[in-house]
Structure 1
């Protein structure tokens, strides 16, 4: 599904050039020439950073053509960009970047019978396949970045995907490209006999045919005879004597010279694709290997069973996956013991029984190879998808290593014949050891392409080691007659190796082709032809002299400050509190720019990007801005800069990135530091103070709840007050009620001896006491002696989260200290701490650990549970008995709070509701509700808040059957649902209490 973004105005940067002035005057789309905007487009998923001239985000094809025309007249170089996921530096350069991903993502033409489709270059692969699914079709070049990469980028890189052994690469699946040349010539590049050949296009066709005929011997001799080779230009398309040439019905296709050209020859504005029928069934066999070598050596035998995919996951990736909450349960199901590598072998077809037989044949083969009982069969579609999601996240999982040493992409796509795969990987591992490092391995064992990344420190000696390793790896590739560039293209890191791979004659031929299409070198200059050295340090993200500004952090970031011994390559984590500032910088740098946060499928991340499709408002864009800011590239203000405040403006601290980002970028936590820096320099507003200090004045406000509610109901007074302090008048204000904790005391001791501490937060104490009352009823009915977080004459305990939202970290720490002091006696006795509000209770498991309170905080975190988590735990331990009766309504729909999802604490909610007899429970597949504490109440964020809710949550509730019970544990979520639908959602505790009363 293609989501159309809403537009939020931005402050225009000063006009810096005639090019910027013309573009801004004549285009309807965004024209971005500010330092921060350019900085966000200066990187992709590679190790490089080059500041572009400016950025254009065209609104439609007319805008695009106008931008190209203006750039031509101003002699500006052009760089096309989609998802910005290129790993070799293809989409960075000193040029005018044109971002196709926001608006140029439409289906232009579709023919289900012919199985073809024409799309714009910004169409995301997963969106395309979702669009095609009702027709039983898909585009089968299924790359791991399918959730964020665009068709234009895939064509530019000649992408391949996990199932290329069955379906081929992009060049085998692109039928035609509507493109614009640097001189403004437009045309459809397709089979030569079908082309409308203007004089300009005719001269190109004739000249390329002459070059291909002249270089026939070199093409046969030099172009590697492996499926995975994407370096240089596809000149063999026009070598009619070459049986390996890519043809359509025996006819050369000029579009195929553009595929893999990385935008250096023409600007692709529409692309015609060949589609394939969706396989009706799939099965997966996961082979566990005791050694990496055995896995590699077995691949050549496995492919004889004709699988559609054979994918590798090595021990490093297994271990990292086990440390990621979202992936741990998935990867555990695939393991037999402690393998050093696993291979995912997929079979697909229309006959399920036949596929199961092929799984049995796979097990027989592995027994013959000495590995009986080492194949885990996965026939269930959901289990298969979950494991493929882990494999697809391979790059990001590898990049989740903390510290300066990171897996670096530069030799990762070398492809060798399968019979040499084991020997190649063995020798390459020896090379890594020679330079005191290890390599991480994953990817396409079926076609001899393994994504291997040596772990290097690019801040220090990494560049020298990169060069040395590349030279030795290239010698091995040549020895085994492989391809140095096997999937991810050339870009900046492999461009210089094009001449090495193809020799001087073909390299000169590539230069001729480039000059034929683009004589002024304006389209993505210095890629493929006449590229810089791979280790040109001025192009690196971490350039010589890179440093962070002095930072005074409020939280403990030492866990990110992993140290690496340059002599041995061994990395040692520091002790708690060691170099907090360096740890913050490294936490920001965990973002590898792969763009997983730009996805739109199930999950939370990233709600602000989903509604804007703006690089400012996505985790990657924020991380890049923060990195630029703390390294002084945006001035001396660091975290307190206006640029940082701008990119964090729509961040709702949902913590979706904490869970969904495979590299572990925790933007909500980083935002606390940025807010604290801003508050220290600029102070905070009255509105911020009203939110931050709510736990302090709530006892007084609760005594005057009736008067406050009366004022709210008088539109003139209520709206005037809201506008005066910056709140949205459309919002209904939370109503203060009599405090629950002021009227309650600990329940009588139970014969069972079971105890629990009910941690009643500010919201459920003063605004929705009925939730706390229901939780008490349920816990007591289950036989628990219930304690409460209050003492005579003292203000109730508080998690301190409201202070964090205003950047008042010291006040939040004080609340945490007070809470720890009060709760530790219960923790010492093993009494569970149970909470109702996810954002509050989970602060005890997250933020409390960042304050430097050491073992006390860790012990509390391990003993703190959300209400539903506690009930599920107790029932599994056979300690919980509840006599629940059917409810008048037999349907319930559940919305998960973002923090519940981030901490894998949501699944217990629908689970406990299913204990109620005859209740049909379903989960609303939703991202953030958009309210996010005070965010949705703020005047300037009201529109964004509603837009987030309208993505899926509110429409799902409006479509529900009458009488459905809506369940949402978050206070903010309930308010958003009530404001947006006039339905009254309930906390799960209230639903259980209702079932008790029935």
Structure 2
């Protein structure tokens, strides 16, 4: 092989042009040859462009270090070649999974090897032995879904289970909520196949099973000698708590360890790699120990009037043998209440306004015994002076919903607006349970002395509480971070705890390894590193010889961080705030430091937690589901935007090609607005980016035609016969569609109706006592599917309402302006919004509801209208706007609605929720009104975006992506629906179902109209 010529330790710039020492004059090594060789020999992706490197320069930590490049191996051979080529080049390598590490383990000046896209297969499975062999890129939730039919699971259930990979979990020695019962990652790994830096394919397992004289046995014997030499120090300095994941697991040979790594005490060399953060080898496969799935679970939620009581009483709860005891503090409760997805869930667990709650879970095979344990929990709390403090949750669905909120705990904490954020650096300290309350109280005093507050949550059962002080790292936060870390370390030492209890060392705790274990053991760790990786090529700077935790040059937001000046077209002032860490009070909008008026702060809400990487539940992120590409992910887009807005990817701003490419497959589904725990609203940010592009380049013909559809519709109605003739001539239709940039597979939309023109005479005065409602008939339901408006009209009148139809002062139908937004013509959209607002506000002020049929249009008035600077009037309109089914449910619950419905010929309905309905939690009302029809069973498809997304599915370059999104869940479900009714409120959704499954989908209004008595 031809070696790539480079320095032994490449000097690389981060995304801001700095080298590791902060210099902006460092020379970037000639990586062109390395990239060329990787592209020539590998079948997977090789990414060396600045935007891709920037997207991989961060993880869920506070750090940013730009890698040499990124390799995404397609198979094991690619992985082997990547290691060989990097070694020949003298370039460090860094294996990475989901990129969810919170301490900076997965960032570095190295060749990133991302195993998550393709190295994600189950290799072997032995249900009798309860073992499974997987590749490192397998996601934990996916493995457990695969294992579920066999009655087994992998029980290291970390909160990031939907996105973290098994390789990354092994690298960090992850733990999870139920470690008190099942142990940590190191207790559940049986073997690891790995590549050493020299290319040797090692197989690490129990030492007594290693072949004599093998490379593995030689390493085992060398490590055993080191461990024997340091045995006394190991017993003195290794913390005696389960939750300790710092350094290397040098105590694997100590059978007197009070927390053995295997039940029979056998030494396993694979356990040395667990928690090594990829600094010893690159994982190829892992052999895991499985556990039987619990047959039953029950949950007791204990409400505490003070945080101290919650901490103090944990030690009394643990003897009841729960499988988990998890904390949710007052800050997290308040933030969860602000999230529309979490509020209804968290409310069910609260008694009054507790300062903290503990989630206490019991699991086993006998449900009656578990219910008895719940009773004992209530009795215990009564004995401890808190009678009536437990909310029992025996129902599995309710438990899962609450656990999902708890799992999102860290990300909920990170949803605070403003420059100050909860910062991870001491969050994993673990102390014995008997000291937990005192430790948290003393640490809170430390925070207060430094003028800040901490957010608390996590694993009370094992004395590990994730605490993050709120700091502004751009303005003096680094000094406070160092001071708090030093005082926290002293407290941990007082209580004989572990400074790193779950999330590993990385950068933020790496320098504390020597403090925790002493210089002699730290030297032993360095010796082990040399045995496995003599060239220091495997994730250098982790575990040993680490940088300083407060090296500001490594921060994602260093003191020199600045955003480029720009004037947004929307109002982002709610994000441009400062927050007092102690009082929680926020300043008035506009007083923050964001020169983009809050836009950059909105982008920076992404903390890189990777929650958007899930793709087997929820709504986001549809483009990632079909590509598995970091670029087409909410996190990847947010990182691209952050780098652009801070000038780290040039000075073109939002009009740059990097932004255009990153947002190319964003369908503005608003799934991130709802599902992202920090509330990143990529759909709204995309409006800004599109507007910037339009301001620079103008509006293309296709986008102009789409934007003007509401105005062109009356004319297009007269052209409908011509359109039908064109569609019957494929060569002509194809030529026209190609010329317009439309997909030839799509039929041209037909404008055949004008419902508002047909019902102009329906403006009679209301009868005495009759309630009034405005039916907002959007462009699509007026001109293309008037039958939906007609059905809604019938249903509302049958329910006793006088239905009003309004037009603007110019006599044109009202419009939400969404087509203009999609084209980046925000001022045109704002004008439509103003016209609509002026027309509807008199009704709103009389208390009349504004009811709409098309989710994307009606919900534009509840969302985008608030960003136009129309202030109080827009807010009033937003509060008065309801989707058709939301209005019916509201009126029924208020006792105002009487609607007589008959059964239908069909006994089953399959419901697909529009993306914006999901984003605003408006699918449940559809389910409810359908349930009013006698004998009708309602089943909701667990689907993401249908893929049509307005004009997206019509666009020639996006047709394939559109169909792939639909085929992920929606279209297969519709094809298997048999004679069931298909219901979809979205115009785009109905068109996609018709094109892809050849089935007619109905708006819920038509279904109710059919059932009218």
Shift of 1:203: 2.4
Match of 1:587 in 2: 602
| Residue in 2 that maps onto 1:759 | 776
Give 1:655's aligned residue. Answer: 670
**Aligned-residue offset at 1:379:** 0.1
Pairing 1:553–2:547 present = no
Equivalent in 802, 808, 813 of residue 825 of structure 2: 808
2:991 — aligned with what?
A: 975
Q: How far, CA to CA, are the matches of 2:532 and 2:583 in structure 1?
A: 46
Contact 2:86 2:92 in 1 (8 A): yes
Deviation at 1:708, TM superposition (A): 2.0
Partner of 2:622: 607
Return closer, same or farther for 1:426/1:243 CA change in 2, 3 Å cut-off.
Answer: closer
Find the counterpart in structure 1 of residue 52 from structure 2. 37
The answer to whether the Cα contact below 8 Å between 1:237 and 1:247 also exists between their aligned partners in 2 is no
Distance 1:838 1:198 in 2: 69
Name the structure 1 match of 2:683: 668
CA distance in 2 between counterparts of 1:94 and 1:368 reads 56
2:813 aligned partner:
796
User: 1-side partners of 2:357 and 2:997: how far apart?
Assistant: 48
Partner residue of 1:985? Answer: 1001
SS at match of 1:572: coil
Q: In the TM superposition, what whole-angstrom CA distance separates every residue of 1:127-173 from its partner, at most 9, and x where no partner exists?
A: 00000000000000000000000000000000000000000000000
Structure 1 stretch displaced more, 695-704 or 21-30: 695-704
SS at match of 2:988: helix
Give the equivalent residue in structure 1 for 2:752.
Answer: 737
CA distance in 1, matches of 2:316, 2:930: 49
Equivalence map 1:419-458=2 (5 Å): 419-458=434-473
* Superposition deviation, residue 18 in structure 1: 1.3
What's 2:907 paired with?
890
- Contact 1:752/1:784 (8 A) holds in 2: no
* Contact kept? 2:808, 2:836, Cα under 8 Å: no
For the 8 Å contact 1:913–1:992, the answer to whether it is kept is: yes
Q: 791-800 or 311-320, which moves further after superposition?
A: 791-800
CA displacement, residues 418-476 of structure 1 (integer Å, 9 cap, x when unaligned): 00000000000000000110000000000000000000001111100000000000000
Kindly state the Cα deviation for residue 241 of structure 1 after the two structures are TM-superposed. Answer: 4.9
The alpha-carbon deviation at position 703 of structure 1 amounts to: 2.4
Unpaired runs of 5+ residues, structure 2, are: 1-28
Selected match of 1:873 from 890, 897, 902: 890
Separation (CA, whole Å) in 1 of partners of 2:741 and 2:231: 72
Deviation at 1:244, TM superposition (A): 3.8
- Rounded to whole Å, the distance in 2 between the matches of 1:305 and 1:866 is 48
Tell me the CA shift for residue 213 of structure 1: 0.5
> Residues of 2 paired with 1:673 and 1:488: CA distance?
36
Number of residues of Structure 1 aligned to a counterpart in Structure 2: 982
Report the equivalent of 2:26.
Answer: none
Q: Shift of residue 261 of structure 1? A: 0.2
The offset of 1:411, in angstroms, is: 0.2
- Give the distance between the partners of 2:204 and 2:935, measured in 1 at CA: 61
Is the contact between residue 436 and residue 569 of structure 1 (CA under 8 Å) also seen in structure 2?
Answer: no
Secondary structure of the corresponding residue to residue 935 of structure 2 = coil
Other-structure match for 2:723? 708
Contact 1:106-1:123 at 8 Å conserved across structures: yes
Q: In the alignment, what sits opposite 1:8? A: none
Between the aligned partners of 1:243 and 1:906, the Cα distance in structure 2 is: 52
Write the mapping of 1:632-651 to structure 2, written as runs, cut at 5 A.
632-651=647-666
Asked if 1:574 corresponds to 2:591, the answer is no
1:213 pairs with one of 228, 233, 242: 228
**2:596 partner SS:** helix
**For 1:810 and 1:211, how far apart are their aligned partners in 2?**
70
- State the match for 1:201 in structure 2: 216
C-alpha distance in structure 2 between counterparts of 1:432 and 1:609, whole Å = 39
1:951 aligns with 2:965: no
* Counterpart-to-counterpart distance in 2, 1:575 and 1:235: 53
Matched-pair contact (CA < 8 Å) for 2:91–2:111 = yes
Distance, in Å, in 1 between the alignment partners of 2:85 and 2:381 is 61
Structure 1 counterpart SS, 2:918? helix
- TM-score, with normalisation over the residues of structure 1? 0.97
Contact 2:690–2:823 (CA<8 Å) still a contact in 1?
A: yes
- Counterpart secondary structure, 1:143: coil
Considering only aligned residues, what root-mean-square deviation do their CA atoms show, in Å? 1.4
Which aligned pairs between 1:161-560 and structure 2 lie closer than 5 A? 161-196=176-211, 199-247=214-262, 249-560=264-575
Give the SS at the match of 1:252: coil
Tell me, what secondary structure is at the counterpart of 2:294? coil
More deviation, 433-442/248-257: 248-257
Change in CA separation of 1:517 and 1:774 when aligned onto 2, cut-off 3 Å: same
1:930 to 947, 961, 977: 947
Q: Please give the secondary structure, in 1, of the residue aligned with 2:327.
A: strand
CA, structure 1 residues 268+248, in 2 after alignment: closer, same or farther (shift >3 Å)? Answer: farther
Superposed displacement of residue 890, structure 1 = 1.8
Paired with 1:242 and 1:837, the residues of 2 have a C-alpha distance of 64
Q: Is the 8 A contact 1:209 1:239 kept in 2?
A: no
Q: Could you tell me which residue of structure 2 aligns to residue 23 of structure 1? A: 38
**Alpha-carbon separation, structure 2, partners of 1:626 and 1:716:** 42
Q: What SS does the aligned partner of 1:581 have?
A: coil
- Deviation, 1:565, is 5.9
> Greater shift after overlay, 910-919 or 326-335?
910-919
1:77 equivalent to 2:104? Answer no
Deviation of 1:327 after TM superposition, in Å, equals 0.5
Partner-residue secondary structure (3-state), 2:388: coil
Report the CA distance between 1:576 and its aligned residue.
6.6
Give the Cα–Cα distance (whole angstroms) in 1 for the partners of residues 71 and 484 of structure 2.
Answer: 38
Query: 2:837 & 2:896 partners in 1: Cα distance?
Result: 27
Q: For the residues of structure 1 that align with 2:443 and 2:1002, how far apart are their CA atoms?
A: 59
TM-aligned CA deviation for residue 913 of structure 1? 1.1
- Distance in 1 (alpha carbons) for counterparts of 2:808 and 2:756: 9
Q: Secondary structure at the match of 1:442?
A: strand
Counterpart in 2 of 1:725?
A: 740
Structure 1 residues 655, 802: CA separation in 2 closer, same or farther (over 3 Å shift)?
A: same
Unaligned runs of 5+ in 1: 1-13
Deviations 1:325-374 (A, max 9, x none): 00001100000111000000000000000000000000010011100000
Within 2, Cα distance between the matches of 1:575 and 1:486?
39
Equivalent of 1:817, from 809, 834, 846? Answer: 834
Once the 2 structures are TM-superposed, how far is the Cα of residue 844 of structure 1 from its aligned partner?
A: 0.6
Is the counterpart of residue 146 in structure 1 residue 164 in structure 2? no
TM-score by length of 2: 0.96
**Correspondence for 2:959:** 942
Q: How many angstroms apart in 2 are the aligned matches of 1:15 and 1:980?
A: 49
Provide, for residues 512-544 of structure 1, a one-character-per-residue CA deviation record: whole Å limited to 9, x for no partner: 000110011000001010101101111110123
Report if the CA contact (8 A) 1:799-1:841 is conserved: yes
Aligned mate of 2:919, from 879, 902, 917: 902
* Contact map agreement 2:809 2:839 (CA 8 A) in 1: no
Do the aligned residues in 2 keep the contact of 1:282 with 1:347 (CA within 8 Å)?
Answer: yes
